[in-house]
Amino acid sequence: MENDGKLNRPTEVEAREGYRVWLRYSDGVTGEVDLADLAGRGVFIAWESRACFETVRVAEDGGIAWGEVIELCPDALYMRLTGKLVLNPPAGRTG
C-alpha cells in the first residue's frame, strides 16, 4: 500500500511464542518483532509471567501496551519491523 503522508499506526497486535509480538499497521504492513532483548529488565520483568505478556494490546494513544505500566512506542516497533521511518513523504515530495 502507498503511504499518503499519514502516520502508520498499529491496528492489531498479538502475543506470539517467546517474547515475540505480531503487529499489523494502518499501511498494511504485518510481521513479528522479537522483544527478548527487553525481557527481564526493569519493568519488563513482568513478562516473565506468560499471562502478563499475553495481555498485549493497542492502547488508546496507539502505543503497544501491557497493563497500565508497560508501553512501547509504535514508531520504534514499526522501524524494527520494516527498517523504514514511520512517516515517509508520498512519491514526488521531499519535505
Q: What is the pLDDT of residues 30-89, one digit of tens each?
A: 999 999 999 999 999 999 999 999 999 999 999 999 999 999 999 999 999 998 876 655
Label residue 21 exposed, middle or buried (CB < 10 Å: 0-12, 13-18, 19+). Answer: buried
User: Which of the pair, 49 or 95, is modelled with greater confidence?
Assistant: 49
Considering its fold, how many domains does the chain have in total? 1
Residue 95 has pLDDT above 50, yes or no: no
The whole-angstrom separation of Cα 72 and Cα 20 is: 13
Average pLDDT over residues 8-28: 96
**95 lies in some domain:** no
CATH of the domain at 74: 3.30.2020.10
Tell me if 65 is assigned to some domain. yes
Judge whether 95 and 89 are in contact, CB under 8 Å: yes
User: Is 91 inside any structural domain?
Assistant: no
Query: What amino acid is encoded at 57 in this protein?
Result: R
Q: Is residue 15 part of a domain?
A: yes
Here the cell at position 76 is 520504534
In a domain, 17, yes or no: yes
What are the backbone dihedrals phi and psi of residue 75, each rounded to the nearest 5 degrees, phi first?
-65, -45
